[in-house]
Amino acid sequence: MQITSPAFKQNARHALDDAQLQKALGNVRGGFIDKRQKAVDALPEFDALRDSARDIKNHTLENLDLYLEAYEKQVTAAGGHVHWAETAADARRIVLDICRMTNARTVTKGKSMITEEIELNDFLEAAGIQPIETDLGEYIIQLRGEHPSHIIAPAVHVNKEQVEADFRRVHNHLAPDRDLTEPETLLDEARRILRAKYFEADVGITGANFLVAETGSSIIVTNEGNGDLTQLLPRVHVVLASIEKIVPTLNDASQILRVLARSATGQDMSVYTTLSTGPKRNGDPDGPEQYHVILLDNGRSSMLGTEFQEMLRCIRCGACMNHCPVYHAIGGHAYGWVYPGPMGAVLTPALIGIDKGGHLPNASTFCGRCEAVCPMKIPLPKMMRHWREKEFERGLNPATQRYGLGIWAWFARRPWAYNLATSLGIPVLGMLGGRNRRFSWLPLAGGWTRHRDLPAPDSRTFRQQWRERDAIKQGALS
Amino acid sequence: MSPRDAIMTNIRGALAAGGSDEARRKAVEARLSRPPKGVIPARGQLDDEARVELFCEMARRVTASVVRVRSHDRVPKAVSEYLRAKNLPSSIRIGDDRRLKSMPWDKFGSLEVRRGPSDGFDETGVSHALAGIAETGTVALASGKDNPTTINFLPEHHIVVVDAKDISGDLESVMGRVRKKFGKGEMPRTLNLITGPSRSGDIEQKIILGAHGPRAVHVIVVG
Ligand code: SF4
């Protein structure tokens, strides 16, 4: 997909003006937060499990090479194939080779953010192979020629009238007067159409939520069952996963599963948690004849050993964006690449470069809700700050911002000058604020006042008030 | 350098500061050979009867229906009652599972029992689970000719038989069972952990049952 992260500000402005999108975003604010909270409240061990999950991933990352080796050995022992891909282009080529080897004409796909990251669909289409998304949300946005706007609810920006229009346009062999007004009828139609596709497909591609070193298993976690049909019915199952998906053992996966579903959808457990290990066995009446895993790096190993290592604990639950006021306001597309919200603000600059993704870590109010709800306890705000520092070090922010920060730094290092300036400036501003005590315009503050008023300050500075407060306290004590 | 070596070199370079290779290797081997249990929720740690009841209760919460029968030979009756109540054709699909096979299906003369994997034309499939998980109301099913995986996903209705004695309190205990049954580090091709019927919330976040898998899951607990 074309990266539009550098145009984040314009994207955000369009999103704010898009009434339909704003209505759809209400579903994020309304649904996810309450459901998660209920599920969390019902499990007294939730916080202990978060610690456990964090420790498991930390241990795994510190021994990533060894666990990858152990995992590879087990996949091979179960009759599967492991392929290593350093870049997106490598991964695409490996998928195509597998498709060509099996003379594939159509592939069905389970939901996978990695295939978005490597832009697999466009590539396969260009090579004459038809990719079919089977997750309902992914199917809808594939019909619309769009990309996911949320990592677990890809079509959260679309309303049901739009889905109806898309189905009528694409499923034009069906009766034009059929009723498609409710989500139920829309789902039924998609179910019928996709059912046939699973049987026709030659290759099924899924992602993985976990790769288990102990057994060589890949795990997918879904609610619809499309991922299962995708990997069960075609002759070949291809798993595309990035290297940090590894966990050591089945028990470790179990620990993290408990926090994953609760954080994502507020379920205790998703409907289908499926562990797949190698191809069909002797005597098995169903299942794929070939099982391939493509392990993608694409920049992750370079995050190890840096201040961004902890981001590799992410299990893509979506809780950080579900609780983010910025995401609530602008949705996922404005972020301009595959990963939106707070996790995207940290991950995107690491994967596509700070020069392209630099706006994203700035799109934060530092309210800290993302870190508070992250099941893996990833310090997202801290890492956004690291990116801001890097952006500053590399001189990537605009000149006015750098100039302003320079002035601020000069005052901050000279308390007498700061005192003098504020004790002169604040009363003046206070007086100029007028009866409403607000500014709708101020020189040099256009970036703020264009969208909201600036409250006029009180007539004393913060430091003056603090001193008075101290004096009162002293008086009360003596 | 092969892509594998390049990635590994990069990882090892980044981790170089993190302790000796020998110590790391030992820690990894220890974890793989003796997987630690971690934090186990108290919710499922109950005596036998209470654990089975919790399982039934949790399964109902995720909109599965549940009945309990005393022994395996009562299962066919429970199945035909379900079919009748739901107005379904008197026909089921089952695999080679020894327990399912030895049940007295012929007592219900009109019931057609089709054997083998599902071809996508079955209204109702019946599987025997390997285990149940009380904390979440989940059933665990292993692939193979006994209980072909297609039966879990293609029929509109999925009836799952689970023995009360195979219901554990927590997920880790079921993983322990899997290790014991298949051998350490060995797995069936697929292990399905199923918690209620298929659903989607992808259109305006409204949850609807019956996405791509079964529209209904009916659990029969034996014992
Ligand atoms: S950063 Fe945390 S909250 Fe956000 S998707 Fe990843 S694991 Fe979930």
What tokens were used for A429?
């501003």
Chain B residue closest to A226 (CA)? Answer: B212
Q: pLDDT-derived band of residue A427, with 50, 70 and 90 as boundaries?
A: confident
Rounded CA separation B96/B115 (Å): 7
Q: Does any domain span residue A85?
A: yes
Q: Does any domain span residue A20?
A: no
- Asked if residue B30 and residue B52 are part of one domain, the reply reads no
Q: Measured between alpha carbons, how far is residue A316 from residues A150, A301, B88, B122 in Å?
A: 10, 18, 40, 35
- Asked if residue A418 and residue A288 are part of one domain, the reply reads no
- Which of A298, A331, A353 represents a domain boundary (last residue)? A298
The alpha-carbon gap from B26 to the nearest alpha carbon of chain A, in Å, equals 10
Q: Does any domain span residue B8?
A: yes
Q: Which CATH number characterizes residue A116's domain?
A: 3.40.50.10420
Rounded CA separation B160/A104 (Å): 35
Identify all chain A residues contacting B58, using CB atoms and an 8 Å cutoff.
Answer: 268
The Å distance, Cα B115 to ligand 1 centre, comes to 44
ipTM over 0.95: yes
- Which of A260, A277, A298 represents a domain boundary (last residue)? A298
Q: What is the pLDDT of residue B19?
A: 66
Q: What is the pLDDT of residue A451?
A: 65
CB contact under 8 A, B150 and A232: yes
Mention every residue, 6+ apart, whose C-beta is less than 8 A from residue A471. none
Query: Is the per-residue pLDDT at B140 higher than 80?
Result: yes
Query: Is the per-residue pLDDT at A447 higher than 70?
Result: no
The alpha-carbon gap from A366 to the nearest alpha carbon of chain B, in Å, equals 27
Query: Is the per-residue pLDDT at A31 higher than 90?
Result: no
Q: Return the half-sphere exposure (C-beta side, CA atoms, 13 A cut-off) of residue A143.
A: 22
Best residue among A300, A311, A314 to mutate for probing ligand 1's pocket (most ligand atoms within 8 Å of CB) is A314
Q: Does any domain span residue A107?
A: yes
Q: Which of residues 38-77 of A touch B (CB under 8 A)?
A: 43-45, 48-49, 51-52, 56, 59, 62-68, 70, 74, 77
Query: Is the per-residue pLDDT at A441 higher than 80?
Result: no
Query: Is the per-residue pLDDT at A9 higher than 80?
Result: yes
- Asked if residue B49 and residue B29 are part of one domain, the reply reads no
Rounded CA separation A251/B38 (Å): 7
Whether A260 is in the pocket of ligand 1, judged by its Cβ within 6 Å, is no
Rounded CA separation A454/A212 (Å): 53
Q: Indicate the length of chain B as a whole number.
A: 223
- Asked if residue B136 and residue B77 are part of one domain, the reply reads yes
Rounded CA separation A148/A138 (Å): 7
Say which residue, A477 or B78, is predicted with more confidence.
B78
The Å distance, Cα A250 to ligand 1 centre, comes to 21
* Contact status, residue B198 vs residue B141, Cβ threshold 8 Å: no
Which of A44-58, A359-373, A403-417, A423-437 has maximum average pLDDT?
A44-58
Q: What is the pLDDT of residue A355?
A: 87
Whether A316 is in the pocket of ligand 1, judged by its Cβ within 6 Å, is yes
Q: Does any domain span residue B40?
A: no
The Å distance, Cα A120 to ligand 1 centre, comes to 24
The Å distance, Cα A32 to ligand 1 centre, comes to 14
- Asked if residue B156 and residue B110 are part of one domain, the reply reads yes
The backbone torsions φ and ψ at residue B132, rounded to the nearest 5 degrees and listed phi first, read -125, 155
Rounded CA separation A259/A245 (Å): 15
Rounded CA separation A425/B200 (Å): 58
Q: pLDDT-derived band of residue A399, with 50, 70 and 90 as boundaries?
A: confident
Q: pLDDT-derived band of residue A463, with 50, 70 and 90 as boundaries?
A: confident
Rounded CA separation A420/B59 (Å): 69
Beta-sheet pairing, A210-212 with A217-222: antiparallel
Q: Measured between alpha carbons, how far is residue A98 from residues A127, A208, A233, A246, A468 in Å?
A: 13, 18, 17, 23, 74
Question: H/E element holding B141?
Answer: strand B138-142
- Asked if residue B109 and residue B19 are part of one domain, the reply reads no
Q: Return the half-sphere exposure (C-beta side, CA atoms, 13 A cut-off) of residue B182.
A: 20
Q: Does any domain span residue A34?
A: no
Chain A residue closest to B15 (CA)? Answer: A305
Q: Which pTM does this prediction carry?
A: 0.91
* Contact status, residue A74 vs residue A213, Cβ threshold 8 Å: yes
Best residue among A210, A316, A321, A346 to mutate for probing ligand 1's pocket (most ligand atoms within 8 Å of CB) is A316
Q: What is the pLDDT of residue A402?
A: 72
In chain A, what's the furthest Cα-to-Cα distance?
89
CB contact under 8 A, A269 and B17: no
A302 in reach of chain B (CB within 8 A): yes
Residue B223 is given by DSSP the state -
Whether A378 is in the pocket of ligand 1, judged by its Cβ within 6 Å, is yes
Please tell me the total count of domains within chain B. 2
CB contact under 8 A, B187 and A273: no
Query: Is the per-residue pLDDT at A410 higher than 90?
Result: no
Q: Which CATH number characterizes residue B67's domain?
A: 3.40.50.10420
- Which of A239, A268, A298 represents a domain boundary (last residue)? A298
Q: What is the pLDDT of residue B86?
A: 97
Which structural domain range is residue A429 located in? 400-477
Nearest residue to A375 (alpha-carbon basis) of A303, A328, A314: A314
Q: Does any domain span residue A26?
A: no
- Asked if residue A219 and residue A79 are part of one domain, the reply reads yes
Which structural domain range is residue B1 located in? 1-34
CB contact under 8 A, B143 and A254: no
Best residue among A57, A347, A376 to mutate for probing ligand 1's pocket (most ligand atoms within 8 Å of CB) is A376
What tokens were used for B22?
């020998």
- Asked if residue B183 and residue B108 are part of one domain, the reply reads yes
Query: Is the per-residue pLDDT at B182 higher than 80?
Result: yes
Q: Which of residues 34-53 of B touch A (CB under 8 A)?
A: 35-43
Q: Does any domain span residue B78?
A: yes
What tokens were used for A228?
């299962």
- Asked if residue B96 and residue B65 are part of one domain, the reply reads yes
Which of A388-397, A459-468, B59-68 has maximum average pLDDT?
B59-68
Q: Does any domain span residue A208?
A: yes
- Asked if residue B130 and residue B28 are part of one domain, the reply reads no
What burial class does residue A442 get, using C-beta atoms within 10 Å of its C-beta: 0-12 exposed, 13-18 middle, 19+ buried? Answer: middle
The Å distance, Cα A212 to ligand 1 centre, comes to 20
Q: Which of residues 64-93 of B touch A (CB under 8 A)?
A: none
| Residue-wise pLDDT tens digits, A55-66 | 999 999 999 999
* Contact status, residue B82 vs residue B159, Cβ threshold 8 Å: yes
Helix axes A64-77, B3-15, angle to 10 degrees: 150
Look up tokens 């918690």; give the residue: B195
| Residue-wise pLDDT tens digits, A258-278 | 999 999 999 999 999 999 999
The Å distance, Cα A278 to ligand 1 centre, comes to 29
Look up tokens 């003379």; give the residue: A103
Q: Quickly list DSSP for A369-423.
A: HHHHH-TT---HHHHHHHHHHHHHHTT-S-HHHHHHHHHHHHHHT-HHHHHHHHH
Stretch A59-80: mean pLDDT, rounded?
97
Rounded CA separation A209/A206 (Å): 10
What share of chain B has pLDDT > 70, as a percent? 99
- Asked if residue B16 and residue B97 are part of one domain, the reply reads no
- Asked if residue A193 and residue A55 are part of one domain, the reply reads yes
Query: Is the per-residue pLDDT at A446 higher than 70?
Result: no
Rounded CA separation B79/B160 (Å): 10
Whether A315 is in the pocket of ligand 1, judged by its Cβ within 6 Å, is yes
Q: What is the pLDDT of residue B156?
A: 97
Q: What is the pLDDT of residue A474?
A: 76
Helix axes A183-200, A160-170, angle to 10 degrees: 40
* Closest protein CA for atom 8 of ligand 1: A317
| Residue-wise pLDDT tens digits, B79-129 | 999 999 999 999 999 999 999 999 999 987 789 999 999 999 999 999 999
Q: Measured between alpha carbons, how far is residue B116 from residues A285, B78, B93, B97, B156 in Å?
A: 7, 21, 7, 10, 17
Identify all chain B residues contacting A223, using CB atoms and an 8 Å cutoff.
Answer: 198-201, 211
Q: Which of residues 330-349 of A touch B (CB under 8 A)?
A: none
Q: Does any domain span residue B39?
A: no
Q: Does any domain span residue B116?
A: yes
| Residue-wise pLDDT tens digits, B78-90 | 999 999 999 999 9
Mention every residue, 6+ apart, whose C-beta is less than 8 A from residue A62. B15, B18, B19, B24
Query: Is the per-residue pLDDT at A432 higher than 80?
Result: no
Rounded CA separation A429/A437 (Å): 9
Q: Does any domain span residue A149?
A: yes
Q: What is the pLDDT of residue A390?
A: 87
Mention every residue, 6+ apart, whose C-beta is less than 8 A from residue A74. A213, A214, A215, A216, A217, A277, B185
CB contact under 8 A, A277 and B189: yes
Q: What is the pLDDT of residue B196?
A: 97
The Å distance, Cα A342 to ligand 1 centre, comes to 8
Please tell me the total count of domains within chain A. 2
Which of B196, B208, B213 lies nearest to residue A228, judging by beta carbons? B213
Q: What is the pLDDT of residue A411?
A: 80
Q: pLDDT-derived band of residue A387, with 50, 70 and 90 as boundaries?
A: very high
**Strand-pair partners of A239:** A206, A293
| Residue-wise pLDDT tens digits, A115-127 | 999 999 999 999 9
For chain A, state the CA radius of gyration. Answer: 26
Query: Is the per-residue pLDDT at A476 higher than 70?
Result: no
Whether A375 is in the pocket of ligand 1, judged by its Cβ within 6 Å, is yes
The Å distance, Cα A343 to ligand 1 centre, comes to 6
Stretch B56-61: mean pLDDT, rounded?
98
* Closest protein CA for atom 7 of ligand 1: A314
Rounded CA separation B140/B198 (Å): 15
Q: pLDDT-derived band of residue A162, with 50, 70 and 90 as boundaries?
A: very high
Query: Is the per-residue pLDDT at A478 higher than 80?
Result: no
- Asked if residue B3 and residue B104 are part of one domain, the reply reads no
B115 in reach of chain A (CB within 8 A): no
| Residue-wise pLDDT tens digits, A303-361 | 999 999 999 999 999 999 999 999 999 999 999 999 999 999 999 999 999 889 888 99
A248 in reach of chain B (CB within 8 A): yes
Q: Does any domain span residue B88?
A: yes
Q: Measured between alpha carbons, how far is residue A265 from residues A40, A412, B202, B217 in Å?
A: 11, 45, 12, 20
What tokens were used for A319?
């809780």
Residue A456 is given by DSSP the state P
The alpha-carbon gap from A125 to the nearest alpha carbon of chain B, in Å, equals 25
| Residue-wise pLDDT tens digits, A125-150 | 999 999 999 999 999 999 999 999 99
Would you call B175 helix, strand, or coil by DSSP?
A: helix
Which of A199, A257, A295 lies nearest to residue B171, judging by beta carbons? A257
Rounded CA separation A30/A323 (Å): 10
Q: pLDDT-derived band of residue B18, with 50, 70 and 90 as boundaries?
A: low
